[in-house]
Amino acid sequence: MKIAQKSIQFLTIVVIALFSISAYAVAADKNQDSQPNGGQVNTKKEVEEYILHHIKDSHDFSLFSYTNDAGERKHLGFPLPVILWSSEGLVTFMSSEFHHNDDGHVIVEKEGLKFAKIHSKIYELESDAATVVFDDTHHATNAHKVLDFSITKSAFGLLLIGLLMLLWFSKLARQYKTRKVPTGFGRILEPLVLYVRDEIARPNIGEQHYRRFTGYLLTVFFFIWILNLAGLTPLGFNVTGQLAVTACLAIFTLVIYTVSGTKGYWMHMIWMPGVPVLIRPVLAIIELAGALVIKPFSLLVRLFANISAGHIVVMSLIAIMFTLKESLGVVGATGLSLLLSFFITLIEVLVAFLQAYIFTMLSALFIGMAVDDHEHH
């Protein structure tokens, strides 16, 4: 019964999503002139730009674009809300008002303010400007960035995966009320939970303290892993490849191990015992820099770089289809592209797990170092 209910819920969501997609596609039709080349990707430069554009965050959720028989460019996807903190306060509108334009040509006027989107960033134009003026290095001269709290594609992905996680794991939690061993999908989730608890949290933090931090580590592990995997699907999320998201995760870990650090941990950091007094301040600087800057920085950059690099490599290999079309022929280029991107995607599936594991593992290790009693020294 329950399963039937769930599938009905799911179907409803899919139907609503499809409706909004088709509505959006129709709406997009009328504004073809806003995109000069129709957004097609053929040359090396365009491929490069497309890839760089993809790994950035986006204000609307587009699955793919195509040109129909009448020569019109169509985009399949749906718009997401744009929430801005401008010079006049909060401004909200749907991202469809930019009509997929990303070079500042479409100006959206809201509450007397003008906004333009340039390379996935939203700029507020100065009050007297009518269009965005660029200098030689392609920087806007008469517009400035605004604080952008939009539900972007990454924020949307984050929400979606967060809800999915809540659904899956609260269902697993409810199962334990009636039975000792879960059934169905819970049977897959349970060993993963046990894995994180027994292989990551327990050995790194220690038997005494691990319980307090297991919840955080489990959330982070599954969050990163599922989003990494979602990034490999045609949905094209690149949430864990966003610096803002990885920075957020790294700062959480930093806050946790800084707040829960024991007296011994701080003593060893600030005034290292067993070392000549003159060296102690030097060591303190190194240790403090290590704990407060290097550790979180390594966490955030590792995850960001690995996932972004993965996306770039996979997309570059797919782009072989266009870039080597002339030298290898259509079949050759497509075949080579398929073969290489297939294998690199397999590796990316492994990397998706590995990066989630490494992030969680290092977080656990740092927390473990902070809560350790240091009595054995």
Partner 1 sequence: METLLNDFSPGLFVVSTILLLALIALMIKFAWKPILNSLEERESGINNALEAADNARKEMQNLQSDNEQLVKEAREERDAMLKEAREIKEKMISEAKEEAKGVATTLIENAQASIEQEKQAALAEIKKSVADLSIGIAESVIKRELASKEDQLQLVEGILKEVTLN
150 versus 341: smaller Cβ distance to partner 1: 150
**152 near 61, Cβ under 8 Å?**
no
Q: Tell the smallest beta-carbon distance from residue 121 to partner 1 (Å).
A: 8
Q: Tell the smallest beta-carbon distance from residue 23 to partner 1 (Å).
A: 25
The percent of the chain in helix, strand and coil, each rounded to the nearest 5, is 60, 15, 25
Residue 311 belongs to what H/E stretch? helix 295-323
120 versus 323: smaller Cβ distance to partner 1: 120
Gap between the Cα atoms of 64 and 246, Å rounded: 26
177 versus 263: smaller Cβ distance to partner 1: 177
Alpha helix (H) ranges present in 324-371?
325-371
Under the binding rule (CB under 8 A), the answer on residue 216 touching partner 1 is yes
Under the binding rule (CB under 8 A), the answer on residue 165 touching partner 1 is yes
Under the binding rule (CB under 8 A), the answer on residue 159 touching partner 1 is yes
Gap between the Cα atoms of 239 and 173, Å rounded: 27
Residues 267-326, interacting with partner 1 (CB under 8 A): none
Q: Which of 193, 338, 354, 365 binds partner 1 (CB under 8 A)?
A: 193
Gap between the Cα atoms of 273 and 376, Å rounded: 13
Residues 11-50, interacting with partner 1 (CB under 8 A): none
Under the binding rule (CB under 8 A), the answer on residue 134 touching partner 1 is no
Q: Collapsing DSSP states into helix, strand and coil, what is residue 26?
A: helix
Number of residues that bind partner 1 (CB under 8 A): 45
Residues 49-68, interacting with partner 1 (CB under 8 A): 56-57
The number of C-alpha atoms within 13 Å of 110 and in the hemisphere containing its C-beta is 22
Residues 218-247, interacting with partner 1 (CB under 8 A): 218-219, 223, 242-245, 247
Q: Tell the smallest beta-carbon distance from residue 148 to partner 1 (Å).
A: 4
46 versus 190: smaller Cβ distance to partner 1: 190
- 83: phi then psi, degrees, rounded to nearest 5: -125, 115
Gap between the Cα atoms of 199 and 182, Å rounded: 21
Q: Tell the smallest beta-carbon distance from residue 167 to partner 1 (Å).
A: 10
Amino acid sitting at position 86: S
Amino acid sitting at position 50: Y
Residues 82-111, interacting with partner 1 (CB under 8 A): 85
Three-state SS string over 50-93 comes to HHHHHHCCCCEEEEEEEECCCCCEEEEEEECEEEEEECCEEEEE
DSSP one-letter string for 128-190: T-SS--B-TTS-BSSEEE-EE----HHHHHHHHHHHHHHHHHHHHHHHHHH-SS--TTHHHHH
19 versus 176: smaller Cβ distance to partner 1: 176
Q: Tell the smallest beta-carbon distance from residue 344 to partner 1 (Å).
A: 23
Q: Tell the smallest beta-carbon distance from residue 329 to partner 1 (Å).
A: 36
- Looking at residue 292, the DSSP 8-state letter turns out to be I
28 versus 157: smaller Cβ distance to partner 1: 157
Q: Which of 15, 173, 188, 339 binds partner 1 (CB under 8 A)?
A: 173
140 versus 269: smaller Cβ distance to partner 1: 140
Q: Which residues bind partner 1 (CB under 8 A)?
A: 56-57, 85, 121, 147-152, 154-155, 158-159, 162, 165-166, 169-170, 172-174, 176-177, 180, 190, 193-194, 197, 211, 214-216, 218-219, 223, 242-245, 247-249, 251-252
